[in-house]
Amino acid sequence: MAFLRYAMFLCLVSMVFCQENMDVEFDLLPRPLIIEYPETRFKNMTEELLMQCTSWRVAVESNNLGPWITIPTECADYVEEYMSGRAYDFDLQTVSKEARVYAKSLELGDDGMDAWVFDVDETLLSNLPYYSDHGFGLEVFDCAQFDRWVVEGVAPVIKPSLKLYEEVSSLGFKIMLLTGRSEDKRNATATNLINAGIDEWDKLILRSESDQGKSAVAFKSEKRKEITDEGYRIIGNYGDQWSDLVGTSVASRSFKLSNPMYHIP
C-alpha cells in the first residue's frame, strides 16, 4: 500500500512539474506548488503562531516591550529558526548597510573628534555558539556560565558589523567600544576582538567596580557623557539593545541591531 502511494505520488509530481508546456489548465492550487513551500524558515509553525511570534519580535525591535526575562515559550522554535537561518543575517546586513550609507554621507570635522560608539555582545561579537547551547533565550540567563564562555574569548565576529567598523575606521571616526562586560574581562575581550578582526580602537570601556548595579541605560549614558565631555561628538551608535542607544548624551544617529534572544534594561 505504501509502495503504491509512493509510486502515485512520484507520478503526480513528475506530471505536475514536467509538463508545464502542455495543454493544461490545472490550477486547482496556486502555482508553482511545492517550490513556494517555505522550506528554510518556520516550516513547522502554524500561520497563527508565526504571526504572533513575528509580532512579538517586531515589538522587541521597536522598543515597545517592558523588561522581559526569557523569550515566550511558544516562540522558542521561531527564535531558533530566525537566529539559525538566513533572516537574522539578512537583518544585520540591512542595518549595517544603512549605517555605512549614513557614515559615508557625513563630512567629518578636521579635529579628529568625530566618534562612533559600538557595543560588543551581539553587536561586534556573536555569542550565538553560547546561546544555541542554551535555548536561544529560552533559559534564564546564567551569569556564571556566560562568564566562562566570555573568558574563552572565542566569540566569532558579526561580519556586517565588521564591515561597518572597517568603513567608519577608514573614514576617520574615533572608535569607542562601550560594553556592559566587567573590567575583569578586559583581556579576554580585547584578545577576542583582535582575533575577530576588530584590531584597533580608541577606547574600550567596560564596567568598573563602581559601575556595578547600574542599569545599562544609566551606565552607558554616563560613559557617553564622559566621551562628549572630552570634546568628542558621538555621530553614530551601534548596538543590539535599546539600552545601548537611549538615555542621555545620545548619538546623532543610533542603529538598533536585531536581537530577539535577550533583553538588557
For position 55 contacting a second copy by CB under 8 A, the verdict is: yes
Cα–Cα distance list, 107 to 72, 167, 169, 234, 253 (Å): 44, 14, 14, 14, 15
- Cβ nearer to a second copy, comparing 1 with 143: 1
Contacting a second copy within 103-122 (CB under 8 A): none
For position 7 contacting a second copy by CB under 8 A, the verdict is: no
Instruction: Count interface residues toward a second copy (CB under 8 A).
Output: 56
For position 47 contacting a second copy by CB under 8 A, the verdict is: yes
Q: How far is the CB of 247 from a second copy (least distance, A)?
A: 11
Sheet holding 174-182, edge to edge: 203-207, 174-182, 114-118, 233-239, 253-256
Binding marks (x or -) toward a second copy, 215..244, rule CB under 8 A?
Answer: ------------------------------
Q: How far is the CB of 82 from a second copy (least distance, A)?
A: 10
For position 68 contacting a second copy by CB under 8 A, the verdict is: no
Segment near a second copy (CB under 8 A); pick from 38-46, 118-126, 132-140, 188-196:
38-46
For position 44 contacting a second copy by CB under 8 A, the verdict is: yes
Cα–Cα distance list, 105 to 72, 97, 115 (Å): 40, 12, 15
For position 173 contacting a second copy by CB under 8 A, the verdict is: no
Segment near a second copy (CB under 8 A); pick from 22-30, 120-128, 131-139, 204-212:
22-30
Cα–Cα distance list, 34 to 17, 30, 37, 39, 219 (Å): 10, 10, 5, 9, 52
Which residues would be at the binding site for a second copy (CB under 8 A)?
1-2, 5-6, 8-9, 11-12, 15-16, 22-26, 28-30, 34, 36-41, 43-44, 46-47, 51-52, 54-59, 61-66, 86-87, 90-91, 94-95, 98, 101-102, 254-256, 258
